[in-house]
């Protein structure tokens, strides 16, 4: 039995919460002066698969002691276009096909979760598994327009807005797509999209501000495809602490940036890479702690998953 099991358990819960938040903080034959309309193109029957690799490292300073943890998550999700209406709004079904996660915690606590392995779980392993239960393999129907705006979403039967840190409302943002402006863009054009931050223990309520900048055709990675466009993204987070949460957090510093490669000819995300750092003070169980969380997330289109 671990001496500080309750502390480690809450520590694990909060770290998993940060992994979920990071998921949200995680998409031509033209000259640099030309206008480019960035658009998704949906074809009924098309099915694509994306893989998300996420690495989260956390350092928690408590007095002269420092607790460190790492979380690695590999998530595979499919996207199938069911129909496209006269206005270009597509009915898209997104499904999380599998999740693999490893967590290295203080006091030598190491946990592994693989959704493909069916077995009885207990303790923290069950706590982690419960975050994904009812989500994996369940189709989520979304209405998405050509600019990537989610117009509507139908959750699977039995899934509620309060189900786990990646269930319900949180999942809406985790499975969203990058949003583009209505007007065509030139190099240097920026636009900002705001979204509610997924709720989670100790985090309170927050808003994520994502600012995009169009960088033009990506000649280095295009490999003959002049329609592969580069977009940079920066994120800023605003958080209002939850007074009733077991851990109260005050954000001191947050910086996030990344790069999106978008295949504008095919109208789909090719890949994205984002890096984010959060530094904050937290009050938990009558103790003050300083925390640093570094996250790296990569999303890539799986070859031969229906894309040409």
Domain boundaries, the chain: 5-301
Cα 20 from Cα 26, distance rounded (Å) = 10
The answer, yes or no, to whether residue 23 has pLDDT greater than 90, is no
**pTM listed for this prediction:** 0.80
The answer, yes or no, to whether residue 165 has pLDDT greater than 70, is no
Average pLDDT value for residue range 222-239: 79
Which range among 192-196, 234-238, 302-306 shows the weakest confidence by mean pLDDT?
302-306
- What fold is seen in the domain 5-301? Lipovitellin-phosvitin complex; beta-sheet shell regions (2.30.230)
Cα 211 from Cα 191, distance rounded (Å) = 6
Average pLDDT value for residue range 268-272: 91
Confirm if 78 and 49 have CB atoms less than 8 A apart.
yes
Per-residue tokens: 206: 């927050």
pLDDT score for 127 = 79
Confirm if 294 and 44 have CB atoms less than 8 A apart.
no
The answer, yes or no, to whether residue 302 has pLDDT greater than 50, is yes
Average pLDDT value for residue range 280-286: 78
Cα 180 from Cα 25, distance rounded (Å) = 16
> What DSSP designation does 108 have?
G
Q: b/e per residue, 263-296, with b = 16+ CB within 10 A?
A: bbebebbbbbbbbbebebebbbeeeebebbbbbb
What lies within 8 Å, CB to CB, of 202 at 6+ separation is 10, 13, 14, 17, 242, 245, 246, 247, 248, 249, 282, 284
Cα 239 from Cα 222, distance rounded (Å) = 38
**φ/ψ of residue 11, rounded to 5:** -60, -40
With pLDDT > 70 as the criterion, what percentage of the chain qualifies?
Answer: 74
Summary mean pLDDT of the chain: 79
Where do the H-state alpha helices sit in the chain? 5-24, 123-132, 168-174, 219-222
Each residue's pLDDT tens digit, 71-83: 999 999 999 999 9
Confidence of residue 226 (pLDDT cuts 50, 70, 90): low
Average pLDDT value for residue range 220-232: 72
pLDDT score for 234 = 94
Cα 136 from Cα 147, distance rounded (Å) = 27
pLDDT score for 107 = 75
pLDDT score for 264 = 92
Per-residue tokens: 245: 């949460």
pLDDT score for 273 = 92
Q: By C-alpha distance, which of 52, 96, 93 is closest to 74?
A: 52
Each residue's pLDDT tens digit, 111-164: 888 998 888 888 878 877 887 777 888 888 989 999 998 888 887 776 654 444
The answer, yes or no, to whether residue 70 has pLDDT greater than 90, is yes
């Amino acid at each position: 039995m671990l001496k500080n099991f309750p502390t480690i358990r809450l520590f694990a819960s909060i770290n998993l919460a940060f992994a979920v938040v990071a998921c949200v903080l995680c998409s031509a034959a033209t000259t640099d002066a030309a206008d480019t309309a960035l658009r998704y193109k949906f074809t009924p029957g098309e099915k694509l698969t994306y893989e998300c690799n996420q690495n989260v490292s956390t350092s928690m300073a408590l007095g002269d002691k420092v607790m460190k943890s790492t979380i690695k998550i590999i998530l595979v999700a499919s996207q199938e276009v069911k129909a496209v209406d006269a206005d270009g709004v597509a009915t898209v079904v997104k499904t999380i096909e599998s999740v693999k996660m490893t967590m290295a915690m203080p006091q030598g606590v190491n946990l592994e979760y693989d959704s493909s392995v069916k077995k009885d779980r207990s303790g923290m392993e069950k706590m982690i598994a419960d975050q994904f239960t009812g989500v994996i393999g369940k189709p989520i129907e979304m209405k998405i327009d050509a600019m990537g705006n989610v117009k509507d979403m139908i959750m699977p039967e039995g899934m509620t807005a309060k189900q786990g840190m990646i269930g319900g409302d949180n999942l809406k943002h985790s499975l969203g797509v990058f949003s583009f402006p209505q007007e065509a863009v030139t190099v240097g054009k920026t636009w900002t999209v705001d979204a509610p931050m997924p709720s989670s223990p100790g985090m309170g309520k927050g808003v994520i501000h994502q600012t995009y900048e169009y960088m033009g055709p990506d000649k280095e990675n295009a490999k003959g495809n002049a329609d592969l466009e580069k977009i940079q993204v920066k994120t800023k987070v605003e958080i209002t602490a939850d007074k009733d949460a077991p851990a109260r957090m005050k954000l001191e510093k947050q910086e996030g940036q990344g790069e999106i490669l978008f295949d504008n000819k095919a109208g789909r995300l090719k890949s994205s890479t984002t890096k984010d750092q959060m530094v904050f003070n937290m009050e938990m169980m009558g103790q003050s702690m300083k925390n640093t969380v570094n996250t790296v997330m990569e999303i890539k289109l799986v070859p031969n998953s229906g894309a040409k």
